[in-house]
Amino acid sequence: MLRLHAAELAAALSADAEVLEEGDRLFVLLSKVSLPQGRFAVAASDVLFIGDKQYPLSSMDMFWVEREVVQPDGSVPQNADSIEQYLGRAWRRFSWHRNGVWRVDGNPLLDHFAFFEARLADVR
């Protein structure tokens, strides 16, 4: 199911999306996603979402981007100071949690991407 949802997201973004498995975790790796203009020191970043094998029943939370995703002045965005290792790479974790309901119908991955976009637009 996650592979189908990732393909739908990739088509909507005109970007590459890969689903990778490591232990009990499932990773959705999006390549070179455009970031809100002028909000960050880089214009695009790979993006990582982490789920598990219960998807879509279990919700995704937070998101990860490349380490270089900082504000234009070099400061780290609020709740994004943790660097974590996944899939052999270092990722900046945006520890921003979903406050809404995780809907299992439709394509929850599209909803999680919308959460990602909304949170980045609200960076402080």
* pLDDT tens by residue, the chain, 124 residues: 999 999 999 999 998 999 999 999 999 999 999 999 999 999 999 999 999 999 999 999 999 999 999 999 999 999 999 999 999 999 999 997 777 778 888 899 999 999 999 989 888 7
pTM score, whole prediction: 0.93
Q: Are 59 and 35 in contact (CB under 8 A)?
A: no
Structure letter (DSSP) for residue 10: H
Q: Tokens 């945006």, residue?
A: 94
CA dihedral for 93, 12, 102, 99, sign (positive or negative): positive
Q: Which amino acid is at 49?
A: F
